[in-house]
Structure 1
Amino acid sequence: MSREVRVLIRHVARDATDAAAIEAAYRQVSKELAVVDGMLGNELLGAVTAPGEFLVLSRWRDLEAFRTWESGARHRDSTSPLRPYRDLRGGRPFEIYEVAAAY
């Protein structure tokens, strides 16, 4: 049985200009990703206790759908507007989670 997958990517803004740029880049990337097979949706989350820190949370039908898109030719181009803002302070700026339970 395949399970839905969530991908979380951390981004950080150095100042208010970066924060606005992250939001604009997120909207641009989301328009391109809206037609990707297997993507169920995504959200830009702003940290309440750490202003300037953001998470992009994307929902995928399953790991195979995400991996197919990730290895495709359009992946790097379609996400490039957000790439300069990735938060590299903790090493890898992303994590992939499989839904283990939902209520």
Structure 2
Amino acid sequence: MSGEVRVVLYCRAPEEGPGPLEAAFHRINEELAGVPGLLRSELLRSRLDGEDGSFAVLSYWKDADSFRDWEQGPAHRAQTSPLRPYQDRGSGRHYGIYEVLAAQ
């Protein structure tokens, strides 16, 4: 067991297309550069039929404590606010936190 965690944030592109969501992702990554424990993040687009506007942000963290420290810190809300309008809250949870149990 590595202790690493992955955080998934489910998003939906606005009516005008994915451009604003992509711009928000890049803005946030500039803000998060150097956050202790954050290894990297990716913007993913669903390729399933009927999910054209579905996206996910996948972030890789050294461990759950690093993520929790950042999430509970004073900068978290301001740093992530550009993506807040695109969170997909229509299908239940809009995020998930997963511990890596195995990898190849």
TM-score, normalised via structure 1 length: 0.94
Q: Would you identify which runs of 4 or more consecutive aligned residues in structure 1 move more than 2 Å?
A: none
Identity of counterpart residues, as a percentage? 48
Alignment partner, residue 3 of structure 1: 3
Aligned residue pair count:
102
Output the CA distance in 1 between the equivalents of 2:85 and 2:17.
10
Output the CA distance in 2 between the equivalents of 1:77 and 1:14.
21
TM-score, normalised via structure 2 length: 0.93
Q: Which runs of 5+ in 1 are unaligned?
A: none
Correspondences of 1:1-103 after superposition (within 5 Å): 3-15=3-15, 17-49=16-48, 50-103=51-104
Judge conservation of contact 1:34–1:41 (CA < 8 Å) in 2. no
Judge conservation of contact 1:9–1:93 (CA < 8 Å) in 2. yes
Q: Which runs of 5+ in 2 are unaligned?
A: none
